[in-house]
Amino acid sequence: MATTQETKPDLVTLTIDGKSARVPKGTLVIEAARQVGVMVPHFCYHPKLTPDANCRMCLVEIEKMPRLQTSCSTPVAEGMVVKSAKSDQVEAARKSVLDFILANHPLDCPVCDQGGRCDLQDFSHEYTATKSQFQELKRVFQKEYFSPLIETQMNRCVQCLRCVRYCDQVMDVKALAPVGRGTLTEIKAFGTHELDCEFCGGCVQICPVGAITSRMSMYEFRPWMLKRADSICGYCGDGCQITYQTKNNSLIEVSSTHGSGRNNGDLCARGYFGYHVSEHPERIQTPLIRQGETFQPAIWEEALEQVGQTLLAIKQQHGPDAIAGLITGRCTNEDLYVFQKFMRGVVGTNQIDSSVRYGHLNGVRALQRVQGTHRWTVSFDDIVEADVLLLVGTNVTETNPITGLKIKEAVKRKGAKLITIEALQPAVGTISNIVNLAHHHFGVRADGFQGAVLALMKSVLETRGMAEDVKASATAYGNDLMAQLSGLAWSRLENRTGYSLSDYGHAASTFCQGKKVVILVGQDVLRASGGYGMTMNLLDLLLLTGKLSNPGCGVAPLAEENNDQGAFEMGAVSDVLPGGFSIDHAESRTAVSKHWGRSIPDSSGGALPQFLERMQSGAIKALLVVGENPLGSLPPVSGIEQALEGLQLLVCQELFMTETARKAHVVLPVCSSAEKEGTFTNTEGHVQAVRKAVEPVGDGRPDWEIFSALSIIMGDSMEYGDVKEIGKEIRNVLPGIRPLGPTPIPSKPDAMVVCGYVGGEYRRDLDSRYRLIDEQPDFSDELLVSLRQSLFHSGKFSLKADGLLKVESEGKLYVHPDEAARRNIGEGDQVDLCNDRGTIRAKVGLRERIPMGMAVFPEHFDQEMRGLLSYAVDPETQVPYYKLAQARIVKV
Amino acid sequence: MAQYEKILLKNMEQPGYSGSLKEYEQAGGYQALKKVLKDFSPDAVIDAVKKSGLRGRGGAGFPTGVKWGFIPKDHPGPKYLCCNADESEPGTFKDRQLMERDPHQMLEGMVITCFAIGAETAYIYIRGEFRLGAQILWRALDEAKAAGYVGENLLGSGKTINIYVHQGAGAYICGEETALLESLEGKRGMPRFKPPFPATHGLYQKPTVVNNVETMANIPHIINNGAEWFASIGSPPKSTGTRVFCLSGHVKRPGNYEVPMGIPFREFIYDLGGGMRSDKPLKGFIPGGASAPFLKPEHLDVKMDFESVALAGSMLGSGGVTVMEEGTSMVWAALRLMEFFYHESCGKCTPCREGSSWLVQTLQRIWQKKGRQGDIELLEELCGNIAGRTVCAFGEAEVGPVLSTIKHWRHEYEALIQEAQVALPPNKELPVFSH
Ligand SMILES: Cc1cc2nc3c(=O)[nH]c(=O)nc-3n(C[C@H](O)[C@H](O)[C@H](O)COP(=O)(O)O)c2cc1C
Ligand code: SF4
Ligand code: SF4
Ligand code: SF4
Ligand code: FES
């Protein structure tokens, strides 16, 4: 029998310390060694970074090569024979490299935060003689102030340049540089100022020794004293895996691990330095009950009793629809699920909503309508592997920094082509700017995305036509869309966006060449008027080019809050049942109510904007607010203040006394995400486990426990022993929702739904989606002010994070230097912003990346600014839009 | 005294020759380029240079034609030529004269090289301190462009070859070819690990040739007079052509001398250089720039070609010959050189970065009579731990002076250490290092 032992051409066989390894061609020797269990000591090598081969620690003997080779930079070859631990020559080389490094190393291990988890300590322990031959003076660097959050101790530096390379290659920030030569080389901030960067902490984490450390935890611990809990960051929708490190029930630091989590060990400033929120002294310690103008601390029984009984009374007197609930997408899936079950099953109303309503809903609804799934059809891995990426209004570094890293990896390392339609201009700054990497960039004002999206679509279809299968099987759909796009005159589009036919032509040709195309849609789109329509149009674009159902392709709306996606999936939205089913869908309603053994009301209840009206009219008497702060986030024109005033009962489940909580009748203290168990679903639709790292502050309880307790008081008990029981119930109701290992399996478009959509459903709002929104009158003297997320904050929540406040503690009105110069304004000047709604004062900051005619203000500091905002509600998705204001700017 | 025919210095040694385009043309300049454009294919140029036996004049002596042959022919994107004019090796000052006095000679060589390797863009990376040289090159480039020797549609051939001058910022290491490329790309000048080599992954990761100024200056002559003619000069087959050797130190007539490779050092130092300046006997000499190990009087009859010097335990390197007379302390000489290397180590790799500072401190101590028993062995061990373990050849270079002075003049080290043992009370060691 002829056995053809097929050797795949891309596999290479080699021997390392007598062990045989078969690895793909191009693998580095150090990695091949790791795979067969041979650990080659190294400092400068890191799998995330391109090899630099500078430390010389990883030298190995390779047969037939004249001298020792650095295994971190040498690719494997067929038949290679490598000796690492088994070579005297190698051992001598390692000893000598360590001897060299230790020559100038201060050996201050007893006071070094890295001591106990330091590569230099470990390798020294393993390879060096106990006595050094070095008897000269050690080099000493003068201690210098480095930054508010990051500390350097350059005497400890082994000059491996991992930090510098990380900041450049992974972060694209380039904030660090080696300065000086030879032994006098030290790592400093690039430039003559203190470190001013994204403060991702990546350099701290990647430093193999204690040369770069966090000031947030300096000298507070020895690594072996720390207890670890792997969990998920509670800030943005990227859902990074973090490890809380605690000592005596106190959070000491957060870390992450290369190779784990959706973030693959990378974090942003919020994740790495923002953990102190949980231990903020202003945390609410006990339940509070209003007594006139003040609050009295109460015990749980008393507070719950008051809430439960009042709810019962209101329900009996005015019916269940006199009660409404609003919950934050920061809660766990379990909290969200129990919340909506409590509202629907116990109170008996669908009058619930959550922070998805602020924008993410626009994306999810569009996905659901066109492709039948409310989840992405791609994952982060698909972004990395994509060959074309289109970003529309993402502001990705600030809102979803880790998604941003995936894009950077795709573009910088894998050669993907990047098209950006963003309210940003290419410019170098202290934090990275995604449009600097773009191959085709359309820089438009925050109200101009629609024009650019339509122009790009028009160009794609006019130059390439639609895909054959669309022509064949969805002729009417194709023709109708073509007709819509043809109806848009190029001259208008060019005029509107400031880019020419040929600019769009180049981008269109790049777009069409893509086989794996991912379109990312961000907050600038989803939270602004027309956001739903634009997401729909982008889905049309993939459909028309025949890419929608191709693996690796998809439209991906970015979730802002950590569990926005979960809030939708758990049904914490008035017209959505768990699983994302419509409340109008009788079958789903029956299925869920069977699981619950409770009936579910069939009226759709109304969304947040309707609550506001019903609260003002007095129809709603009680509002349960869970972790949300409508008074602190909605603009005055929305009528929120009046709405809250008329309530008979306002209950807030909160960590802090927010603006809304201060108006409450009862405030109930809850657990932070570091203090409870459960799951979060990230923007990809990946469900991940949240683990408790510390005991709750004061009497804080998880939110679900409160609903459960209330249900008992209200005589319709919904008891759970622990979070696991809730998880079990969720899985019974929704078999797909559970933590599913390290990588998500992206959903696929539902062919039936797509068929229905192209078969005619698309017509419903076609005209409005493809009508270029009316031109704004030319306010050449006014600025379009956009309230946006900053990289250093997340909602109002992070304003309680010590570390983040050290980087950004006030809101500035950021404008382009030319825009400022033209108005004779300089950095730090005070200006008045005025429009019909009022006048507010702000300090000006200059940023070259902001387009002319626009100003950006970090939404976290928007207390005053909200007075200027306009407010409108999307007729289709009921999303309230309030992130933009047109205003005059006057220097004071 | 034998008279040797000059090739590279010929023009400039004519009285009144200023290096202008007109004079260069009158002396037969740019004929080679015309000939190449008319009669040669790129491969034919590479073949001629291979046959001529020309080896790089920058230090490593790599066969130039062979290096050009490594450039992938079918590469779709741009390719580059970089002329290494960073000349910073102590005791080496030939490139400066070649650039300043007859700039068109090297420019013509560069244009021909670009033609041979298929590059449209070439850079001259010139040492920052050579301000005059840069100005002269800019002027010469203007002339050459106006005459159609450089730029678009070269002499009507339809070819484009642009040359740019880039000034360095004062680091010796930027003469190392990959550090040069990093610096040219606007990054910190630190060598890259190799492989990959510049021939495939050079400037901006594109195929790149890096050649020394003198290497470039030889090219027009090879084209004009033929590979065979060049291959017959010097000490064939491995060391062909002339070299511009730089003579410095305790000699009567220091300076640049162009001679065919293969004449003995004795003739070079005594006949051309006029011998020792104070009639003290010669004690030792560096045959090829600061990186080359010292030789002794017994090596005076070694021939000045690549093989012979290598056999004698040193290298011809950059062609800088530095002579020291009797009475010079060789420990001091080693220390001086080591101070240079310590100052110039870029700091990228551990053995060189830490080793250079350790070596210089130990040498300082010995020189200041604070040496200890075992210091010589320590020096030898440190050198052994540097050489062969670094990213670039700087590592080998810096240990050369130390090891060779120990080898030839060990007793001088021993004597200084002996003195220290007497002078220092036991166990009382003084700090000596500062910066
Ligand atoms: C530390 C170091 C410094 C160098 N400095 C120079 C220099 O200043 N000029 C030079 O031409 N080559 C220098 N070289 C050699 C270059 O790396 C390279 O080999 C040479 O430029 C190639 O040109 P060639 O083949 O024409 O000699 C240096 C090499 C090393 C390792
Ligand atoms: S913390 Fe700052 S310097 Fe460090 S890697 Fe991140 S962006 Fe760069
Ligand atoms: S600070 Fe740390 S990571 Fe950066 S070069 Fe020094 S040892 Fe390496
Ligand atoms: S050997 Fe010295 S000069 Fe060369 S890369 Fe290493 S540190 Fe830099
Ligand atoms: S790990 Fe290979 S040289 Fe540093």
Note if the bond before B196 is cis, omega within 30 degrees: yes
One domain for residues B152 and B88: yes
Closest ligand 4 atom to residue B173 Cα is 3
Contact B354, A103 (CB under 8 A): yes
Of B296, B325, B354, the one marking the end of a domain is B325
Closest ligand 3 atom to residue A176 Cα is 4
Long-range contacts of A735-744 (CB under 8 A, 24+ apart): A737/A333, A737/A569, A737/A579, A737/A681, A737/A687, A738/A679, A738/A687, A739/A679, A739/A687, A739/A688, A739/A689, A740/A686, A740/A687, A742/A260, A742/A261, A743/A379, A743/A381, A743/A686, A744/A262, A744/A379, A744/A684, A744/A685, A744/A686
Band (A4; pLDDT cuts 50, 70, 90): very low
One domain for residues B405 and B285: no
Distance CA B362, CA B378 (A): 9
Mean pLDDT of B422-426: 69
One domain for residues B64 and B38: yes
| CATH assignment of the domain containing A177 | 3.30.70.20
Interchain CB contact of B187 with A (< 8 Å): no
* Closest-CA residue to A67 (of B385, B184, B411): B385
According to DSSP, the residues that pair with B321 across neighbouring strands are B247
Ligand 2 centroid vs A830 CA: distance in angstroms?
31
Whether residue A757 is contained in a domain is answered as: no
Is the complex ipTM more than 0.85? yes
Whether residue B5 is contained in a domain is answered as: no
According to DSSP, the residues that pair with B166 across neighbouring strands are B125
CA distance B355 to chain A (A): 7
User: pLDDT digits over A614-653, tens only?
Assistant: 999 999 999 999 999 999 999 999 999 999 999 999 999 9
Q: Sign of dihedral through CA atoms A192, A197, A199, A200? A: negative
Q: Taking CB atoms and an 8 Å cutoff, what residues of chain B touch A49?
A: none
Distance CA A405, CA A423 (A): 19
> For residue B314, how many C-alpha atoms fall within 13 Å in the half-sphere facing its CB?
34
One domain for residues B152 and B220: yes
Torsions phi, psi for B84 (to 5 deg): -85, 100
One domain for residues A695 and A568: yes
Band (A464; pLDDT cuts 50, 70, 90): confident
Query: Nearest ligand, CA of residue A199?
Result: 2
pLDDT tops 60 at residue B431: no
Whether residue A755 is contained in a domain is answered as: no
Altogether, the residues listed in chain A come to a count of: 892
* Closest-CA residue to B178 (of B201, B151, B156): B201
Distance CA A130, CA A124 (A): 9
Mean pLDDT of B333-347: 97
Torsions phi, psi for B206 (to 5 deg): -105, 155
- For residue B378, the enclosing domain spans 330-423
Cβ neighbour number for residue A79 with a 10 Å cutoff: 11
pLDDT at residue A544 in the model: 96
Of B177, B204, B232, the one marking the end of a domain is B232
pLDDT above 90 covers a percentage of chain A that reads 91
Grouping H, G, I as helix, E, B as strand and the rest as coil, residue B232 is helix
| CATH assignment of the domain containing A670 | 3.40.50.740
Torsions phi, psi for A890 (to 5 deg): -130, 130
Residue linked to tokens 């924008």: A359
Please tell me the total count of domains within chain B. Answer: 3
Closest partner residue to B433 among A136, A178, A180, by Cβ?
A136
Contact A701, A641 (CB under 8 A): no
Residue A57 Cβ < 6 Å to ligand 3: no
- For residue A592, the enclosing domain spans 288-355+563-733
Closest ligand 2 atom to residue A199 Cα is 1
Distance CA A470, CA B15 (A): 82
pLDDT at residue A779 in the model: 61
Whether residue B310 is contained in a domain is answered as: yes
Mean pLDDT of B323-337: 97
pLDDT tops 90 at residue B196: yes
Distance CA A331, CA A702 (A): 9
pTM score of the predicted model:
0.95
* Closest-CA residue to B93 (of B237, B257, B206, B225): B257
Alpha helices in B192-276 (DSSP H): 213-225, 227-232, 265-266
Query: Nearest ligand, CA of residue B209?
Result: 1
Mean pLDDT of B78-102: 97
pLDDT above 70 covers a percentage of chain B that reads 97
Q: Sign of dihedral through CA atoms A756, A758, A759, A761? A: positive
In chain B, which residue's Cα lies nearest the Cα of A132?
B378
Band (A459; pLDDT cuts 50, 70, 90): very high
According to DSSP, the residues that pair with A880 across neighbouring strands are A873
CA distance B354 to chain A (A): 5
Cβ neighbour number for residue A515 with a 10 Å cutoff: 12
Q: Taking CB atoms and an 8 Å cutoff, what residues of chain B touch A68?
A: 388-389
* Burial of residue A462 (number of CB atoms within 10 Å: 0-12, 13-18, 19+): middle
pLDDT at residue A7 in the model: 47
Task: Dig out the tokens for A304 from the structure.
Answer: 């719950």
One domain for residues B139 and B285: no
One domain for residues A195 and A114: yes
User: pLDDT digits over A138-181, tens only?
Assistant: 999 998 899 999 999 999 999 999 999 999 999 999 999 999 99
Interchain CB contact of B361 with A (< 8 Å): yes
Distance CA A267, CA A280 (A): 22
pLDDT tops 80 at residue A58: yes
Q: Which residues contact A291 (CB under 8 A, 6 or more apart)?
A: none
One domain for residues A533 and A575: no
Distance CA B379, CA B366 (A): 11
* Burial of residue A215 (number of CB atoms within 10 Å: 0-12, 13-18, 19+): middle
Contact A734, A579 (CB under 8 A): yes
DSSP class of A669: E
Whether residue B429 is contained in a domain is answered as: no
The β-bridge relationship of strands A294-297 and A880-881 is: unpaired
Whether residue A602 is contained in a domain is answered as: yes
Distance CA A403, CA A197 (A): 18
pLDDT tops 90 at residue B434: no
pLDDT tops 90 at residue B149: yes
One domain for residues B36 and B155: yes
One domain for residues A207 and A309: no
* Closest-CA residue to A637 (of A887, A868, A450): A868
User: pLDDT digits over B244-287, tens only?
Assistant: 999 999 999 999 999 999 999 999 999 999 999 998 999 999 99
* Closest-CA residue to B176 (of B359, B352, B365): B352
Cβ neighbour number for residue A479 with a 10 Å cutoff: 13
Cβ neighbour number for residue A224 with a 10 Å cutoff: 8
Long-range contacts of A476-484 (CB under 8 A, 24+ apart): A476/A760, A477/A543, A477/A758, A477/A759, A477/A762, A478/A544, A480/A762, A480/A763, A480/A766, A481/A540, A481/A544, A481/A762, A481/A766, A481/A770, A484/A766, A484/A767, A484/A770
One domain for residues A717 and A590: yes
Of A248, A279, A310, the one marking the end of a domain is A279
Distance CA A845, CA A858 (A): 11
Contact A654, A706 (CB under 8 A): no
| CATH assignment of the domain containing B405 | 1.20.1440.230
Closest partner residue to B354 among A52, A100, A137, by Cβ?
A100
Please report, to the nearest 10 degrees, the dihedral formed by the alpha carbons of residues A856, A858, A864, A870 taken in order: 60
Contact A660, A632 (CB under 8 A): yes
One domain for residues A73 and A148: no
Mean pLDDT of A421-429: 95
One domain for residues B273 and B176: no
One domain for residues A381 and A308: no
Distance CA A691, CA A711 (A): 26
Grouping H, G, I as helix, E, B as strand and the rest as coil, residue A710 is helix
One domain for residues A580 and A696: yes
Residue linked to tokens 């569990």: A563
Indicate the helix (H) or strand (E) that contains B47: helix B42-52
* Closest-CA residue to B65 (of B5, B131, B100, B117): B117
pLDDT at residue A132 in the model: 83
Min mean pLDDT across A237-251, A461-475, A657-671, B243-257 is at A461-475
Whether residue B134 is contained in a domain is answered as: yes
For a substitution probing ligand 4, which of B390, B396, B398 has the most ligand atoms within 8 Å of its CB?
B390
Please tell me the total count of domains within chain A. Answer: 5
Whether residue A748 is contained in a domain is answered as: no
The β-bridge relationship of strands A782-788 and A884-891 is: antiparallel
Grouping H, G, I as helix, E, B as strand and the rest as coil, residue A605 is coil
The distance from CA B24 to its chain's CA centroid, rounded to whole angstroms, is 25
pLDDT tops 50 at residue A1: no
Contact A19, A34 (CB under 8 A): no
One domain for residues B253 and B283: yes
Contact A521, A363 (CB under 8 A): yes
Distance CA A360, CA A469 (A): 31
Instruction: Supply angle C-alpha A62, A63, A65, rounded to 5.
Output: 75
Distance CA A132, CA A429 (A): 45
The mean pLDDT of chain B is 95
- Residue A59 to residue B389, Cβ atoms within 8 A: yes
- Chain A contact residues (CB < 8 Å to B): 51-57, 59, 67-68, 70, 73, 93, 96-97, 99-101, 103-104, 133-137, 139, 158-159, 161, 177-178, 180-185
Please report, to the nearest 10 degrees, the dihedral formed by the alpha carbons of residues A299, A301, A304, A308 taken in order: -150
According to DSSP, the residues that pair with A845 across neighbouring strands are A814
| CATH assignment of the domain containing A522 | 3.40.228.10
pLDDT at residue A191 in the model: 83
| CATH assignment of the domain containing B170 | 3.40.50.11540
